[in-house]
Amino acid sequence: MTLTAVGSIAFDTVSTPFASGERLLGGSAVHFALASSFFAETSIVGPVGGDFEEHHLQMLRSRGVLTDEVQIDHAGRTFSWRGHYDYDLNTAHTDETQLGVFADFTPALSERARACEVLFLANIQPSLQRQVAQQCASAAFIALDSMNLWIQTARDELLSTIELVDCVLLNDAELRMLTNRPNLLAAAREVISLGPRVVIAKQGEYGAALFTEEDFFALPAFPLENVVDPTGAGDAFAGGFIGFIAAKSADVSHENLKRAMAYGTAIASFNVEELGTARLQRLTGEEIAERVAELRRITQFIEEPVELRSRPQA
Amino acid sequence: MTLTAVGSIAFDTVSTPFASGERLLGGSAVHFALASSFFAETSIVGPVGGDFEEHHLQMLRSRGVLTDEVQIDHAGRTFSWRGHYDYDLNTAHTDETQLGVFADFTPALSERARACEVLFLANIQPSLQRQVAQQCASAAFIALDSMNLWIQTARDELLSTIELVDCVLLNDAELRMLTNRPNLLAAAREVISLGPRVVIAKQGEYGAALFTEEDFFALPAFPLENVVDPTGAGDAFAGGFIGFIAAKSADVSHENLKRAMAYGTAIASFNVEELGTARLQRLTGEEIAERVAELRRITQFIEEPVELRSRPQA
């Protein structure tokens, strides 16, 4: 199935205790598409400025990403983010955000992009996400990411956008904030009651949990001794997860959703091994398959009944 | 195999956003033994005061726990803890601790207790743990729990005690603090380099991870909509985990360790459903087996190769 991803294309300047880099190619749509393009033809929709170079577009195309819908405003500058992480790599600290061309971004989808069968709405203003969702009326599966900023400043728009989608990806704190429910299972069930069939709780170094109306699945993160830069890991996860669903013709049986979680988890683990999108840019299908197999090995156990002692009477 | 657990026997006064209770029977040895006694005859070693009532001992015996080694000091008072939890149930806030008879506790093990085949050293002063470990020279498997207090105030004693044991259970923050390593995998490997064969990282609502020299395993927590009181969940986990190992004659093959993780996870999930040890006191073997099966269902996926797209050349 064809996939369209709408989100940011950015230059990230990142500093972690383990590495740092300037103006690295990033953005939610880029991390997503470098992952999803392993599974489905992915078109990215997002704005860039005159400082965005042709070799970046070429790299994306070399990875099977369609760049026709990248909106180039030669007079403007590409969205840029500068941030750092402390030893606790779970929390990104923003030092500077320059919206550039992203400030006035209105997604303009071609007829081809609108006809996509699967749609990913990366973390942008909820009413823009809603516009896009309405344009892609024939999509069989629409997924949405968001963040605390929109929960706080555009809560109603976000809720009415959530009603339109099949899948919501948020981190634990965001799910709790959105629903005012401290219990994660209760929070996820409340989001499902709004319309989506699938809710994914992103849990950083602890992996991810998947909720549907009648079922549950959780997968730990792949253990790494060398985590360099978590930027974009959630989008890479989304790319693997949603890409897999697109490859399976949007068949969201529970077994497929579980496998999709494994592919998302595997690709996210590669994403964090190097700065920015460096690792994803040279990732191979064989490496993904190997890591999914390894992930299976380290999370699966074989049940074997044990004889439990009967209780003596008091 | 026979199991001896050395630790606290306590009265806990607990307040959470969902329930509260006064002078509930608790303590690390009690939560542990109520879990481990499903798998192996468990003798608990710990001090109580004149305020400890016969019906508490009777309840323990009715659950298959041997209480001969409970040291009763009729002139003293039982260790008591008062604490509360906010909506974030991961963090216990201590309001008051009265050590009582626990202040002068020196474990005095009978010949029978010393002859145990599996030993659990709950979270007490590391040099006391060391004394006990040395007394139980014939134990085939010794596990140890500890806490931030001892890492800060008795680090060297803790490290030299860790050298004597087969298994260390700590939470993520404690593993990082003990080793000064922010990366959990690196921290666990460093602890293994001190001697233990198995390190378990307890991760609260995210479950637990198991590290050995050559392998890894992680299991998410069982999802619950109704978490009432997390007190003692780590000890209940340890009871299920170590109890299972005792039931398997201390065979710590990786397959057994993984199954032991499942039993620990299942029992810990019951522990938190009600205040104190209330749920464990009436837990049945059938309930444990059912939850392990359910846990397997919600964490296992079947691999199915997906055709990954080949990359076009740039």
Give the model confidence (pLDDT) of A173-218 as tens digits: 999 999 999 999 999 999 999 999 999 999 999 999 999 999 999 9
Please tell me which of the candidates A58, A310, A312 has its beta carbon nearest to residue B314. Answer: A58
Main-chain dihedrals φ then ψ at residue A10, nearest 5 degrees = -145, 165
Give the residue-averaged pLDDT of A91-100: 94
* Predicted pLDDT at B312: 60
Mean pLDDT of chain B: 95
DSSP state of A186: H
**What is the pTM (predicted TM-score) of this model?**
0.94
* Predicted pLDDT at A285: 95
Q: Answer positive or negative: Cα dihedral of B162, B165, B169, B172.
A: positive
The answer to whether the CB atoms of A300 and B303 lie below 8 A apart is: no
> A296 to chain B, minimum CA–CA distance in Å?
7
* Cβ-based contacts under 8 A for chains A and B: 175
The answer to whether the CB atoms of A259 and B303 lie below 8 A apart is: yes
> B54 to chain A, minimum CA–CA distance in Å?
12
The answer to whether the CB atoms of B219 and A223 lie below 8 A apart is: no
Q: pLDDT confidence of B69, banded at 50, 70, 90?
A: very high
Percent of residues, chain B, with pLDDT higher than 90: 94
Is residue B6 within 8 A of residue B29, CB to CB? The reply is yes
Residue in chain A lying closest to B55 (CA): A314
* Predicted pLDDT at A303: 80
Query: Residue B77 burial (CB < 10 Å; 0-12/13-18/19+)?
Result: middle
The answer to whether the CB atoms of B218 and A220 lie below 8 A apart is: yes
Residues of chain B with Cβ-Cβ distance to A203 below 8 Å are 206
Is residue B54 within 8 A of residue B76, CB to CB? The reply is no
Q: pLDDT confidence of A314, banded at 50, 70, 90?
A: very low
* Predicted pLDDT at B314: 43
| CA–CA dist B16, B11 (Å, integer) | 16
Please tell me which of the candidates A227, A259, A304 has its beta carbon nearest to residue B304. Answer: A259
Report all structural domains of chain B as residue ranges with CATH numbers, in order of start. Answer: 3-297 (3.40.1190.20)
* Predicted pLDDT at A87: 87
Is residue B255 within 8 A of residue B235, CB to CB? The reply is no
User: pLDDT digit string (tens) for B151-207?
Assistant: 999 999 999 999 999 999 999 999 999 999 999 999 999 999 999 999 999 999 999
* Predicted pLDDT at B210: 98
Amino acid letter for position A138: S
* Predicted pLDDT at B238: 98
DSSP state of A274: S
